[in-house]
Chain A
């Protein structure tokens, strides 16, 4: 599929950012969370859509980023933008050894290996009480070092939108770069790419680390947004949800997964306001989307336009 025009995407993100000054307060809070999830889904799309490595452990980098940023702001008062970047870098650093082990495999084994690492993180966080707060998590995380304008509801929303736009530019820049083209080549035909002198494992590792870096940033922004982190962030259902967002929106399109995140988040929110058994309808909705919209929501958009 032809990628969407990046200027259009940036315009949409800017629009979502400015909406904070139009919408009532609680709607802004919702949209902030939705944008953070969009960043999370964007990071996974690099792996699932672009490298076709179906990760089922993306809760791992998300939660790790959240815990790293949370701890930095809570214990040392590291200013939020730095804490977010450092958390992303920390996650990326850990992604090197983890990715080195994971990208040797593909398909279901890759999915399960990434899942095992995320669950291992869950186990460590639950049991390592002294540092991580155990099953209670860390509460009272401040939005450290931000001027009042940015620490407030609208300000933080804008900050999230800026991070999302930057992350999108990084992801888009990556897949259109020469290296990104090689990733696509490895995805389409590993033997041929190898014959051209590229090491598939190192190429995949690059995507893996970049994807974990962005997911770590998303998690870190979530820690600042929610003000607390808990082991549930690591749990496999989180990985399942974000994967659904990516596939729902249309894997490999970058914009699709971001839209998928918004649709997923608002569908969940609206349905839960309407009926207690929202999960029932959400589940049925997924089944119908998969059967009738094979390329996700972006596929639907392309077909009608």
Chain B
């Protein structure tokens, strides 16, 4: 394989990984931007999405249905959690959120083990998606291209939603000044609940999309959330653009790192994060709190 072809294929691989990472990171950054909550359960919700996705597909045989069921389940759970636990804690210190979301992550992981067992499960792709296409005469899985498209579509939709709709306006207002937003007659509590539910749904959708590629296993959540943290911190907590840039950076660093310097790849993303935070404590696109 000539270097240019290899480079192209690796770029496509990196883009598809970036797309998956974007789904979980975007929710994390939205939750932080609007609620000032670092959600440690976000990886577990991603994992929940993967499991619900696989289970739905096993039961119904439809991959498409699994992409609907997974975010729905996570949204319901997220909404319940926000109303029952988080909403009681907004007046308190940061550390309170840390403990409750960590507790949720722990409980959710165990609940998943209880329901689906400890073995990893893989989703089967429908025939129409499991094929390959030829990129510069080399075979490449269609599904990875589809992931890139899904990530792109999600990014555009969310961006348009944030910038062009009334709800998006409300979200941005609540992120910048919740007191003023509430004083203008908006129910900030409901905005927070909606954001949390949507962010959970996004993570679960990412999980369901990842299930055919990564398979649903119990370690999935605690591994993927670290990547998401790295992305969100590199991009700047609460920044949409930063999250997109961070996802690309980490996706490319991991894909190319694993190929060209497997010994250093694991440490590279963390070193990248340290470098960014030392130079710009607020992240690339964020503001210092």
Contact = CB atoms under 8 A, between A and B. Distances in A.
A240 B109 CA distance: 15
Interface of A: 48, 54, 101, 104-105, 107-109, 111-113, 115-117, 119-120, 122-124, 126-127, 235-237, 240, 243-244, 247-248, 251, 276-287, 289-291, 294
A240 B226 CA distance: 12
Given A101-B278, A290-B89, A244 B102 contact: yes
A126 B38 CA distance: 27
12 contacts: A108-B289, A113-B278, A115-B226, A115-B229, A119-B226, A244-B99, A247-B99, A287-B85, A287-B99, A290-B89, A291-B88, A291-B89
Interface of B: 32, 38, 40, 85, 88-89, 92, 94-96, 98-100, 102-111, 113-114, 222, 226, 229-230, 233, 237, 263-264, 266-267, 270-271, 273-274, 277-278, 281-282, 288-289
Contacts of B32: 108
Interface of A is mostly: helix
A235 B92 CA distance: 28
B238 to A, nearest CB: 10
Nearest to B106: A283
Contacts of B89: 290-291
A289 B98 CA distance: 12
B95 A116 contact: no
A280 B110 CA distance: 5
A286 B106 contact: yes
A48, A124, A244, A279: residue with the most chain B Cβ atoms closer than 10 Å: A279
A283 B110 contact: yes
B56 to A, nearest CB: 22
Contact of B267 (A54, A105, A123, A290): A123
A120 B99 contact: no
B104 A283 contact: yes
B82 to A, nearest CB: 12
4 closest A-B pairs by CB:
A283-B107, A286-B103, A123-B267, A283-B106
Contacts of B273: 112-113, 116
Contacts of B92: 294
Nearest to A106: B289
Contact of A48 (B95, B281, B288): B95
Given A107-B94, A123-B266, A277-B114, A113 B107 contact: no
A106 B85 CA distance: 26
Contact of B100 (A237, A278, A290): A290
Given A101-B278, A116-B274, A279 B96 contact: no
Nearest to A292: B88
Given A244-B103, A248-B99, A279-B107, 6 more contacts: A109-B233, A127-B267, A247-B95, A277-B110, A279-B113, A287-B99
Contacts of A286: 99-100, 102-103, 106
B124 to A, nearest CB: 28
A237 B222 CA distance: 8
A96 to B, nearest CB: 15
B106 A113 contact: no
A190 B107 CA distance: 38
A78 B98 CA distance: 39
B107 A127 contact: no
B33 to A, nearest CB: 12
Contacts of B226: 115, 119, 236
A54 B222 contact: no
Contacts of A115: 226, 229
B89 to A, nearest CB: 7
Contact of B38 (A111, A116, A119, A280): A111
B263 A287 contact: no
Given A119-B226, A294-B92, A279 B99 contact: no
A127 B263 contact: yes
Contact of A240 (B40, B264, B270): B40
B97 to A, nearest CB: 8
Contact of B96 (A119, A126, A276, A294): A294
A276 B110 CA distance: 9
B99 A289 contact: yes
Given A116-B274, A240-B40, A279 B109 contact: yes
